[in-house]
C-alpha cells in the first residue's frame, strides 16, 4: 500500500523558482509573516520552492517518537500543517516526498506526498492512546486518499475504532478521538478552500448559463400547468440528475468539485436554485398542484401566486421543525437527563447517566446541572 513518490521534471521545476529563492540567508524563523505582511504571531512560513521546503523537513520521521503525549503529537502535527499552508500553492512542494517509519525498530520506511502525510497524521492521532504497545501501526494504516477518503467511515471503523476497542480504551475516549479525526478532516476544506478556489458566486452560474448549451436549456425549461404533480416531479428530478452529472464531469468547476466530494451541497437545494422551485406542500401535507416554474436564479418568486405558494410551503417546514423534530444538540430528541450519584467500593464517585423518554402522563423531571459535563459539552454540540 505504500506509495513511492515519482519525480517528474524535478530539476526543471526547481529551476523555475531559483530566481525567487533566498538560499544562504533564508531560515524558517525569519520567514514568519514577513511575506504575508501580517503580524498575528502564527508560525506560517512563506516557502518559495522545494529547496526551502527541504530545510524545514527531516529526512526521516519516526512516528512513534511523537506519540508520547497528545501535546507532543499536536505540536508536530501543527508544524507540518503550517509548512503545507506556506507552500500549498506550489504543486512541486505539496507533492514533495516525505519519508517515515512507524517505529525505530522498523526495517522498512515509507514515502508519501507531503499533503498525504498530513492526512495520515490526522487519522493516526487516536493511536497516541496506544503508545508503548509495539507493532500497532503498520503499512495498512497508511491512507490511500483516492480510495479511502470517499469511504472514510470504513477506514475509521477498521483502523481507528477497532484497534482502540481491542486494547480496551474507554468508549468515551474512542468517541472523542474519532470525533476529533472527523473535525480535523473537515477543517481542511475551510483552511484551503480559498487557495483551491473552491468558492463560487453568481458569476459562476451565469457563466454556466452562457457557456453550456445544455445547462442553458435546462434552466430555461418550462412546465405545463396541466401536467400531473408526479410527472412534474419526475421531470425536475431528471433535470437535477443531469445537471449534477454535467457539473461533476467538469474538472475545474468549483461546484463540481464540491459535488464530487459527496458533501457540502444538497442536491434538492441546488435544483431549486438552478432548475425550478417545483412543487410545494400545503400545511396539511398535501402537494399544491401548481408548480413554481422559476428557479431562484431565473425569475424567482416574480408573481403573487408564487409568493403565496412558497409562503405556505415555508409554514409547513416551520411547523414540522417545531412539532416533530427535536432540539439539535449532543443528544438529539432527548427529553430529560437524570443524573444519579452513587458510592462505589473504592470510595470514588461515579456518574451514572440514564436517559428516559418522558411520557405524556409524567410531570416535568428536574434536571441536575453538572459543571464538568456542561464544560465538556460546550462547543461540542455537533458531536
Q: Can you give the C-alpha Rg of the chain in angstroms?
A: 27
pTM across the whole model: 0.56
Per-residue confidence band for 327, with pLDDT thresholds at 50, 70 and 90: low
- Please state whether 249 falls in left (phi above 0), alpha (psi between -120 and 50) or beta: alpha
**Phi and psi of 194, rounded to 5°?**
-70, -40
Listed ranges 2-11, 21-30, 62-71, 288-297; the one with the highest mean pLDDT: 62-71
- Please state whether 285 falls in left (phi above 0), alpha (psi between -120 and 50) or beta: left
Matching residue, cell 494504516 = 141
Residue 4, pLDDT > 80, answer no
> pLDDT at position 195, please?
67
153-185 pLDDT, tens digit per residue, is: 899 999 999 999 999 999 999 999 999 999 898
> pLDDT at position 204, please?
86
> pLDDT at position 284, please?
78
Closest CA to 44 of 180, 197, 195, 183: 195
Amino acid at each position: 500500500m505504500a506509495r513511492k513518490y515519482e519525480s517528474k521534471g524535478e530539476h526543471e521545476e526547481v529551476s523555475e523558482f531559483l530566481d525567487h529563492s533566498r538560499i544562504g540567508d533564508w531560515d524558517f524563523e525569519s520567514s514568519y509573516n514577513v511575506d504575508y505582511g501580517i503580524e498575528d504571531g502564527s508560525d506560517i512560513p512563506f516557502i518559495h520552492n522545494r529547496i526551502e521546503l527541504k530545510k524545514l523537513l527531516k529526512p526521516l520521521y519516526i512516528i512513534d517518537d511523537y506519540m508520547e503525549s497528545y501535546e507532543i503529537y499536536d505540536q508536530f502535527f501543527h508544524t507540518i500543517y503550517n509548512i503545507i499552508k506556506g507552500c500549498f500553492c506550489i504543486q512541486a512542494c505539496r507533492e514533495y516526498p516525505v519519508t517515515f517509519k512507524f517505529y525505530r525498530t522498523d526495517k522498512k520506511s515509507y514515502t508519501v506526498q507531503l499533503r498525504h502525510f498530513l492526512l495520515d497524521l490526522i487519522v493516526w492521532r487516536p493511536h497516541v492512546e496506544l503508545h508503548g504497545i509495539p507493532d500497532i501501526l503498520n503499512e495498512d494504516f497508511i491512507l490511500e486518499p483516492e480510495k479511502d477518503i470517499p469511504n472514510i467511515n470504513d477506514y475509521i471503523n477498521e483502523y481507528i475504532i477497532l484497534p482502540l476497542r481491542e486494547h480496551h480504551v474507554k468508549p468515551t475516549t474512542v468517541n472523542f478521538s474519532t470525533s476529533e479525526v472527523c473535525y480535523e478532516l473537515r477543517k481542511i476544506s475551510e483552511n484551503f478552500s480559498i487557495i483551491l478556489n473552491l468558492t463560487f458566486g453568481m458569476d459562476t452560474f451565469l457563466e454556466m448559463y452562457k457557456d453550456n448549451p445544455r445547462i442553458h436549456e435546462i434552466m430555461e425549461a418550462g412546465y405545463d400547468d396541466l401536467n400531473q404533480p408526479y410527472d412534474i416531479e419526475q421531470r425536475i428530478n431528471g433535470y437535477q440528475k443531469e445537471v449534477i452529472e454535467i457539473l461533476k464531469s467538469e474538472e475545474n468547476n468549483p461546484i463540481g468539485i464540491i459535488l464530487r466530494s459527496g458533501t457540502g451541497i444538497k442536491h434538492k437545494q441546488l435544483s431549486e436554485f438552478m432548475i425550478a422551485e417545483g412543487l410545494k406542500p400545503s400545511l396539511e401535507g398535501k402537494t399544491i398542484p401548481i408548480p413554481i416554474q422559476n428557479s431562484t436564479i431565473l425569475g424567482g418568486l416574480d408573481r403573487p401566486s408564487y409568493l403565496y405558494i412558497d409562503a405556505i410551503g415555508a409554514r409547513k417546514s416551520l411547523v414540522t421543525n417545531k412539532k416533530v423534530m427535536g432540539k439539535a444538540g449532543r443528544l438529539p430528541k432527548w427529553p430529560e437527563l437524570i443524573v444519579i450519584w452513587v458510592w462505589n467500593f473504592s470510595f470514588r464517585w461515579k456518574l451514572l447517566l440514564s436517559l428516559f423518554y418522558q411520557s405524556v402522563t409524567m410531570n416535568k423531571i428536574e434536571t441536575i446541572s453538572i459543571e464538568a459535563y456542561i464544560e465538556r459539552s460546550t462547543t461540542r454540540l455537533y458531536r
